[in-house]
Structure 1
Amino acid sequence: MAFERWLVDGYDLTDGLVRDVEYRAGLTATPAVVGANATVPNRIGELWRPKHHGPGKFTLALWLAPAGGRWQDVDAAWEDLLRAVARPHRLLTFERHTAAGQVRRCQGEVLSALTPTPLGQSGMRISLEVNVPSGYWESADVAFEATAPGTPLPQDLDLEPFADATAPMEQLAYRITGPITAPTVTDTTDGTGDSFTYTGQIPAGQALTVDAATWQLTGSGGLVPNPGRLTNTGPAFLRLAPGLPGTAPSVRLTGTNPGPTTQLAVTGRRAYLT
């Protein structure tokens, strides 16, 4: 089992000698669900509406105990920590290296006042309460999966590299290689979910990339995509649900006029609730 490490903007909070994490409260708690069902006059119950997650939170309890054992060394370590985390003008990148060897990260902000508790003259304890506006953590590495070129339509793609995700993924890019006309990509993870359709033609030798993270369409091989031709059914270009227990998320490519190079590729980072 590896030693769990925590970093903020690359600054190591867990060197094990001078500073370390005692515990992390709220790390296994999921963000609250945001949204409400609708009440319809003269109708029993409520009309269900889809929900989404709100911001996330966690707390890191740290100790500082510089090797010198002098109070001026404690003060210096405290000021180094302030330089690392007291930055209200921007989000910080928190990175967690788990004992299992995974690396997960999130964009967070320290909102509460920092009030350290002295440990005699040789150290102090500090709690960092971190707010995660996006609600989710993400993998540090980028995952990729693609269908075999020329597979008959519909092309179904099980996204095995994304199987350990626990949160909906909006930060993915979908690359559709032609030839294909009016391609549609649908989330088939949990039945039939959200989808997007490009009501145009992608000729052979060209490709369309639909980037759900940046809300942009880009073409390659000479393709100049028309954003007005893209329609989507959900709140994002495609919000991909995490897989059910024991299964991976999946997508399906449909359309007309395929050829031997028609292909769907998905790339991006896995998302996690904790």
Structure 2
Amino acid sequence: MGLERWLVDGYDLTDGLVRDVEYRAGLTATPAVVGANATVPGRIGELWRPKHHGPGKFTLALWLAPAAGRWQDVETAWEELLRVVARPHRLLTFERHTAAGQVRRCQGEVLSALTPTPLGQGGMRISLEVNVPAGYWESADVAFEATAPGSPLPQDLDLEPFADATAPMEQLAYRITGPITAPTVTDTTDGPGDSFTYTGQIGAGQALTVDAAAWKLTGSGGLVPDPGRLANTGPSFLRLVPGRPGKVPSVRLTGTNAGPTTQLAVTGRRAYLT
């Protein structure tokens, strides 16, 4: 166990000597759900429709107190912080190192005015209100899991490395190694969920990668994928829901004409609501 650290684009906000984080409001608050049910004239109640999460936000309260205790040093530290966080032309990468040793990050922007409060002549306090347009945090490390090559279809894959995710994961890549015809990958975490199907053939020695983060298909071993052959049932190529307590996310590969090298591999970053 260690101290929590915060970095912005690699700049350490928590060196413990000159600057540190006092508290973080809203860090454990989840993004609001976006969407509405439909009403039908003459029908009781509403028709339920799937929802998704909107943007997230949190506030970091910082202090600056240079060791020398001189006001000119406080101003220098303040201007250095401004050069890091006051960048409205692009998103910033906020990285949180938890006390448990996990690293989570998000892309955020500081939208509110920065109004520091002087602490005499020896320091100041500042609040950074951060908006997270994408809504979710993600793991800094990339997780990976794959089925045993050549195992009979359907191939079921429990994604143990993704077990601690708390938010839907739509930034994953799915690599299907042939031979297989018309492969379908289905989210089986909460029963049959969203899926995608490639209505083509992947030959022996070939592989198809369905990159949900980049919205593209790539092939190897001479395979030239046709994007028009990919059909998905959800809002992305495949949005994988997090597992319930005691259950990990899982997917299933189905298709025909499999062989001894047929395999499904999943790679990407875990997603978190907070």
Query: Which TM-score applies when normalising by structure 2?
Result: 1.00
CA offsets, 1:198-242, max 9 Å, x none? 000000000000000000000000100000000000000000000
Deviation at 1:270, TM superposition (A): 0.2
Q: Root-mean-square deviation (CA), in Å?
A: 0.3
Q: Distance in 2 between matches of 1:13 and 1:72?
A: 19
Q: Any idea what SS the aligned residue of 1:264 has?
A: strand
Q: Any idea what SS the aligned residue of 2:83 has?
A: helix
Q: Any idea what SS the aligned residue of 1:73 has?
A: helix
Q: Distance in 2 between matches of 1:95 and 1:242?
A: 22
1:117 alignment counterpart: 117
Matches within 5 A, 1:123-272: 123-272=123-272
Q: Distance in 2 between matches of 1:167 and 1:80?
A: 34
Q: Any idea what SS the aligned residue of 2:72 has?
A: helix
Q: Distance in 2 between matches of 1:31 and 1:147?
A: 34
Deviation at 1:182, TM superposition (A): 0.1
CA offsets, 1:72-97, max 9 Å, x none? 00000000000000000000000000
Q: Distance in 2 between matches of 1:158 and 1:105?
A: 25
Q: Any idea what SS the aligned residue of 1:236 has?
A: coil
Deviation at 1:247, TM superposition (A): 1.3
Q: Distance in 1 between matches of 2:154 and 2:68?
A: 66
Q: Distance in 2 between matches of 1:241 and 1:41?
A: 33
CA offsets, 1:45-86, max 9 Å, x none? 000000000000000000000011000000000000000000
Deviation at 1:181, TM superposition (A): 0.1
Structure 2 unpaired stretches of 5+: none
Deviation at 1:246, TM superposition (A): 1.3
Deviation at 1:179, TM superposition (A): 0.3
Q: Distance in 2 between matches of 1:196 and 1:125?
A: 50
Runs of 4+ with deviation above 6 angstroms:
none
Q: Distance in 1 between matches of 2:172 and 2:228?
A: 20
CA offsets, 1:149-185, max 9 Å, x none? 0010000000000000000000000000000000000
Q: Any idea what SS the aligned residue of 2:120 has?
A: coil
1:273 alignment counterpart: 273
Q: Distance in 2 between matches of 1:195 and 1:135?
A: 23
Q: Distance in 1 between matches of 2:96 and 2:246?
A: 25
Q: Distance in 2 between matches of 1:101 and 1:56?
A: 23
Q: Distance in 1 between matches of 2:247 and 2:4?
A: 28
Q: Any idea what SS the aligned residue of 1:89 has?
A: coil
Q: Distance in 2 between matches of 1:136 and 1:42?
A: 39
Aligned length: 274
Question: Could you tell me the percent identity over the aligned residues?
Answer: 92
CA offsets, 1:121-166, max 9 Å, x none? 0000000000000000000000000000001000000000000000
